[in-house]
Amino acid sequence: MIRRLLCLCLLACATLTEAGGRLPAQKTESASAAAPAQQNGSGLDLRLPLESDSIRFAVIGDTGTGDREQSEVAHLLETYRKAVKYEFVIMLGDNIYGGHHAADFRTKFEEPYKPLLDAGVKFYASLGNHDDPNEERLYKPFNMGGERYYSFKKGDVEFFVLDSNYMEPAQLRWVEQALQKSKAKWKISYFHHPLYNDGVSHGPDLDLRSQLTPLFEKYCVNVVFSGHEHVYERLQPEHSIQYFILGNSAKLMTHDFHASPQMEKGFDTDRAFMVVEVSHDKFYFQVISRAGQTIDSGSETLPVCSASAP
């Protein structure tokens, strides 16, 4: 009897396969799900593939306190730099809290990130509401070229760095012209104030959203980073644009979220930073807490997009 039942089961499976059907597959990870950790000599939990000729960078936001927490995150940034070999860091604003004297730049930036600076890592800053544009845009280690907003290119990736404190018509014209003429495969924009955000303390900047999202959608921006809310959040893509908020690399707002279907991942219990790898049509990310735990990771595929004609 048992043998007969076993034969019937095998026959049913074979029939499904021959008919072109499949047995129910195990649930696969989504494009944004955490990938398995790599085995690497550093012993770190590393979720990036580290492909040849890829663009690798780190992301920090709301950093310039000079406090112990900033230094602890900075130490882990250096640990991951040795494993990931990223060459630059993007800063999402509020780079220097309080005074902007030489001593402030030293204790709130140069000293915490000294190992990175000594290794030749470049920092590309955007301006937050606690920043002094007259001082910071001229500060050479922030690589702003004396401008409040600017762009730079790394391989197939072009970065558009905006000043969200004052989105005047001249800046909006510059944004549109810069996006329109860009030939980059990947277009990434970053600035301080988030367009989408489930944080209670600040929330989204709706005026800024109405100004920028039409341009981002028209000219095929792929990824947008912001800070300001002192948490980490990854949102569901809006019109194929992936939005990240990372404003907890030194500051922190605990228990800051309200429930929202647009949130894919939120973290508001410790400080964090991100490492990113862009390789061909893939964008890989990993978010690490101050305790060294991976709190989010995954990948996004370059969406099909055709920029609208001017």
User: Is residue 216 assigned to a domain?
Assistant: yes
Range of the domain at 237: 43-301
How confident is the model over 262-288, as a mean pLDDT? 97
**Share in percent of the chain as helix, strand, coil (round to 5):** 25, 25, 50
pLDDT band for position 177 (cuts 50, 70, 90): very high
Longest dimension (CA), the chain: 87
User: Is residue 22 assigned to a domain?
Assistant: no
Q: Name 283's bridge partners.
A: 278, 300
How confident is the model over 99-108, as a mean pLDDT? 98
Task: For tokens 């940034």, name the residue.
Answer: 77
User: Is residue 235 assigned to a domain?
Assistant: yes
User: Is residue 272 assigned to a domain?
Assistant: yes
How confident is the model over 257-271, as a mean pLDDT? 92
C-alpha dihedral (127, 130, 133, 135), degrees to nearest 10: -120
Higher-pLDDT residue of 27 and 50 is: 50
The pTM of the full predicted model, rounded to 2 decimals, is 0.87
d(C-alpha 34, C-alpha 173), whole Å: 38
* Residues recorded for the chain: 310
**Per-residue model confidence (pLDDT) at position 10:** 37
pLDDT band for position 40 (cuts 50, 70, 90): low
**Per-residue model confidence (pLDDT) at position 18:** 33
**Per-residue model confidence (pLDDT) at position 299:** 97
How confident is the model over 94-114, as a mean pLDDT? 98
Cβ-in-10-Å burial (0-12, 13-18, 19+) of 222 comes to buried
Percent of the chain with pLDDT over 70: 85
Q: In the predicted model, is pLDDT for residue 21 greater than 60?
A: no
State the average pLDDT for the chain: 88
User: Is residue 307 assigned to a domain?
Assistant: no
Residue 293 is part of a domain; what is its CATH number? 3.60.21.10
Q: What are phi and psi of 152, to 5 degrees?
A: -150, 160
User: How many folded domains does the chain comprise?
Assistant: 1
pLDDT band for position 310 (cuts 50, 70, 90): low
pLDDT band for position 257 (cuts 50, 70, 90): confident
What is the number of helices (H) and of strands (E) in the chain? 7, 13
Higher-pLDDT residue of 41 and 291 is: 291
**Per-residue model confidence (pLDDT) at position 17:** 34
**Per-residue model confidence (pLDDT) at position 7:** 38
Q: What are phi and psi of 273, to 5 degrees?
A: -145, 175
d(C-alpha 292, C-alpha 265), whole Å: 17
d(C-alpha 257, C-alpha 273), whole Å: 19
User: Is residue 143 assigned to a domain?
Assistant: yes
User: Is residue 118 assigned to a domain?
Assistant: yes
Task: For tokens 């860009």, name the residue.
Answer: 182
d(C-alpha 287, C-alpha 307), whole Å: 30
User: Is residue 24 assigned to a domain?
Assistant: no
Percent of the chain with pLDDT over 90: 80
**Alpha-carbon distances, residue 72 vs 89, 242, 251, 258, 275 (angstroms):** 16, 28, 12, 28, 16
